Structure 1
């Protein structure tokens, strides 16, 4: 149970770091590479974000297992469910739509303007707010300062 408690604290912070590194650093920086064309940058981004999404599901699954071993409080459960809902929305709704746009642009097609990237950024910011909150709440519970 001690290991599960540790994972309930560590996993959200690790997850937040992965999201920050990819979504807020790698993604914008690659478009500043002078010799990288937009279609190639989009293809690389597609591969990187697919890998990040798979990593996020692994982390979420490990977090759920840790919660099954060492039950979280009500507030932690709500925050974890919100993070899981964001991940689910991204995986089944948003990423497929972004993939269609990416493939079209990579094929040289013109695509209409869209707010999908703005929606993506909003969801990532929400995740980056909720994940450290989740880790902190679990830390407080472990330290005896229940946050429920």
Structure 2
């Protein structure tokens, strides 16, 4: 029971990080005085790299707590969590490295054609945060019905 509470807390901390970074910091930094594209991209790379590490840590902790818990969650709860993890893996091995490469090229002065990578990132980020929110709330409900 206690492990589930930690898992729920970690889930909502993870959601908070995504909300604060992906849906707030990412676009606000470019509105700050004195921030040009190169500087904004450099800050973005640093912040999203840190966010990725926090997300991986959160996913691993939830997975460990889930394995250690004697309580087995409903399949739909596991599906929501694993969907978020698959998206995190996709972002970690494909989207973030591709966006980093583009940012490095732009900062080096290379003119690039428009890309849909940011659109893909936002789309999967919305799906991931939705899965995590549903996972967190349904886990909380599951926890309260099993008392």
Q: Could you tell me the TM-score, scaled by structure 1's length?
A: 0.93
Residue matched to 1:4:
3
Who is 2:67 aligned against? 68
Task: Report the CA distance between 1:37 and its aligned residue.
Answer: 1.2
2:17 alignment counterpart = 18
Q: Structure 1: which 5+ runs fail to align?
A: none
CA positional deviation for 1:34: 2.2
Unaligned runs of 5+ in 2: none
Tell me which stretches of 4 or more aligned residues in structure 1 moved more than 2 Å: none
Counterpart for residue 35 of structure 1: 34
Question: How many angstroms does 1:132 deviate by?
Answer: 1.1
Distance 1:116 1:84 in 2: 19
Moved more, 50-59 or 28-37: 28-37
Match of 2:90 in 1: 89
CA contact (8 A) 2:84 2:129 kept: no
Which residue of 1 is the match for residue 49 of structure 2?
50
For residues 18 and 133 of structure 2, the distance between their equivalents in structure 1, rounded to whole angstroms, comes to 12
C-alpha RMSD over aligned residues: 1.0
